[in-house]
Homo-oligomer: A and B are copies of this chain.
Amino acid sequence: MRAAIAGASGYAGGELLRLLLSHPEIEIGALTAGSSAGTALGEHQPHLAPLADRILQDTTAGTLGGHDLVFLALPHGQSAEIAEKLGDDTLVVDCGADFRLSDPAAWEHFYGGAHAGTWPYGLPELPGRREELRRTRRIAVPGCYPTAVTLALFPAFGAGLAEPDVVVVAASGTSGAGRSLKQNLLGSEVMGSVSAYGVGGVHRHTPEMEQNLAAVAGGPVKVSFTPTLAPMSRGILATCTAPATPGLTAAALREAYEAAVKDEPFLRLLPEGRWPATSMTLGANTAALQVALDERAGRVVAVIAIDNLTKGTAGGAIQSANLALGLPEELGLPVNGVAP
């Protein structure tokens, strides 16, 4: 099978390529870009030696057409038009936000403009999603923060162990902000410093978290979400808390998490007493997870580490694509982080 990648010069595009280069069933086809069209991939992704001389093409339906699958790693708002032209038999995997939300009002509130629609949501670990993904030609890849937060809390909400009043604080590596030339993303400014941004309920990933957790909880879930930027290139560590339901015991909580991850190839519940570090998952499609019951404060506290570019974007995209292509879900996806 041949895959085209739109947005191959960015960080998400680079990670898709790194993973696909080791994928036994997917061959890399056209690589496209926006303003970098016409340049060699090696200028943008110097770590991908085998593709260094590949020339980036324009992102058009023409260059992307004729592939079995197309990964879109484009700025928000550009996917709908392309997808429409690609035909229903092409598997289209959108790493952008355009088709993630089902509620048009939430879309308009957080993104502005018209809602493009809703595609099957590429988080196979969520109850019911895996089956849906096996039958689709359109996949909306989750945002990196919602991936982390949803995986951290779905066991608690699925088992009815937490109240729907969630507080999340997450630290992300700078690659989560993409390759944009902004002053606050310069190395001189981010090294040696942790900073907050998008505070106060304004981050666009908030409604996506609420949507996912509500589906599991069977009712609305409120999320207070604060993202922070940490001095590392990759990785998300999300601390997710919610009030414990009355009478919850630590044993029951642990049991629910053990049950939830039992057959999941990419979810790893750490042994009791150990807590996640993002280095455990660097470059891997794995989520490292731990949970505790804070009895004094009456809260469930779940902490999760993922690589924002792998499980949080490109790896998650390939995992879902594997399902849609009828391939083994884990094919071509690394499980072990690069550490130390």
**B175/A188 in contact, CB under 8 A:** yes
> Is A259 an interface residue when CB atoms closer than 8 A count as contact?
no
Q: How many residues of A contact B (CB 8 A)?
A: 91
**A188/B233 in contact, CB under 8 A:** yes
Q: List B contacts of A335 (CB < 8 A).
A: 21, 49-50
Distance from A170 Cβ to chain B, minimum over Cβ atoms (Å): 9
**B194/A232 in contact, CB under 8 A:** yes
Copies of the chain in the assembly: 4
Q: List B contacts of A192 (CB < 8 A).
A: 191-192, 232-235, 278-279, 282
**A279/B47 in contact, CB under 8 A:** yes
> Is A82 an interface residue when CB atoms closer than 8 A count as contact?
no
Contact pick for A195, options B48, B197, B237, B286, CB 8 Å: B237
Q: List B contacts of A186 (CB < 8 A).
A: 174, 179, 181, 185-187, 340
A contact residues vs B (CB 8 Å cutoff) = 11, 14, 18, 21-22, 42, 45-50, 52, 165, 167, 169, 171, 173-175, 177, 179, 181-183, 185-197, 199-201, 206, 222-224, 226, 228, 230-235, 237, 239, 241, 268, 270-271, 274-284, 286, 288, 290, 292-299, 301, 303, 305, 334-340
